[in-house]
Chain A
């Protein structure tokens, strides 16, 4: 029993200690990442705001993440609705293929995408990262939205039509509000995944780096390390906030429809 408790403590320390170090050194007044700490400063954060290349990378990442979130969620919406409402030949295989990138090593996806682009003689850039990220985010969107559709009783839509609504107004009044929490959760999760994805972005970014790629580049300059720490701190806070928001929406959706909680992210 005591052994298990010790194991759990060690496990948690291993998991979170590095993340705690991040803000620690981000506010540390010294360029060397080592103890003892040198005193409190916010100048690394000020530095962040005075680096135009970083702003470009951030803007790039945001454009990509927003596009990917929207694209993946729309694609996921179609696939999830089809998978949960209709049966068609080869359904299991098709859905399996769509979900495959979930387990495929990203480096393989990245290399094959790069090869295809080069064979086609196309330039890499923002759009190719969007395509790659959409590929890996769509399975997440489907998984989330399939849950939303599966939780929804089919006769709800029929009841609405039976009470005089057209199929379109039924979608607007019944279907959309009931899967909306799933849509929001999917948007947020795809956004987060895309925002801190590195491998695909690294292979396909060309000369327009995303934030993680830019960060990786900065690691070569020891003097820039505290700035990277500061940025990392902001990213961690942002990611956690997004995930919590997504989970809140998912739970609110369940509560509103009076369903039982059967899992989730947090």
Chain B
């Protein structure tokens, strides 16, 4: 985050009776940033979003919006607007009336309002739809109306509560790209709540992964994926294999580990996010960071292993293999791109596998 923060969260806590919904949330969200709150259901991500919008009071801590403490400021007086999970399109109003709803108290003349509504609808590609009844729209169109309605007020921050979860897979992918484009165009800070890790990785500048009301890790998508700080984050974002290992201290704060089925390797300090556990540890590696060797291919000395195929899952562009490495207690998953002339292996085949120590992460 290079820009100055538009939202500052300082030790935000929220209790529902005995239930601790938000635990010490501290974060800065930058001007113009696409920020995601990612986590399983019940992790507090929606509560945090609603607290920023003003729909939930917080028990302690502070929420600052462009330098102003938001304590006691009701939602209608906050410079935020929200796109609801259900879109909350007013069913008794037309598309234009929905989009122009927030302008009622703007003091604009009727012509100015009409122009603003037209511009907002054009922005989301619904220029022709102004006169339609709101309930005659498809899911994707409702989503766009909700966006136009929220953006017409030019909020400092746009809050999106699982906005794509009601759409089918194709439409979701289209809207992901459109949202990114739209956000670049308007330059408004977007905060997205999602439980879909892929969606978060695709769209965000930074992602806060939340578990049980607290932020487990806050990083850009690549760091989050390549260098997860805990096993839990690693398991939540994408797929990761965990292999038992014996660790000792290595050079420059790194570690020297003996990994079951792979062999000995040296890891850098950045690959040990929770320090170097001496003795029993686990090494995490992503399926695409392991490579099956086909005939005629070789690996660098000391970076190869042998095993056999126990499971094959064919995905079209990719094939996932479960490989039981010699000397390992359980199979590891390996993903291979399907290329012309590359045969899909069978269960029971013996294979050679190459690995790269840079792709490993050490967990206690």
* Chain A residues proximal to chain B, CB less than 8 Å: 153, 155-156, 158-166, 174, 177-178, 256-259
Contacts and interface: CB of A to CB of B under 8 A. Distances in A.
Interface string B55-69: 100000000000000
B153 A163 contact: yes
Contact of B88 (A158, A164, A259): A158
B36 interface: no
A162 B53 contact: yes
Contacts of A155: 84-86, 88
B82 interface: yes
Interface residues of B, number: 26
Contacts of A165: 76, 104-105
Residue of B86, B88, B101, B136 contacting most chain A CB atoms (<10 Å): B88
25 contacts: A155-B86, A156-B88, A156-B91, A158-B75, A159-B84, A159-B88, A159-B149, A162-B80, A162-B81, A162-B82, A162-B150, A163-B101, A163-B149, A163-B150, A163-B153, A164-B102, A164-B104, A164-B105, A174-B90, A177-B92, A178-B91, A256-B135, A258-B91, A258-B133, A258-B134
A47 B104 CA distance: 58
**Chain A interface mostly helix, strand, loop or mixed?**
helix
A199 to B, nearest CB: 40
B74 interface: yes
Contacts of A164: 76, 102, 104-105, 153
A41 B268 CA distance: 108
A230 to B, nearest CB: 43
A196 to B, nearest CB: 33
Nearest to A166: B76
Contacts of A257: 91-92, 135
Given A178-B92, A256-B91, A258-B91, A159 B135 contact: no
B196 to A, nearest CB: 20
Interface string B84-104: 111010111000000001101
Contact of B84 (A158, A177, A259): A158
A163 B86 contact: no
Contacts of B91: 156, 178, 256-259
Given A256-B92, A257-B135, A258-B136, A161 B76 contact: yes
B101 A158 contact: no
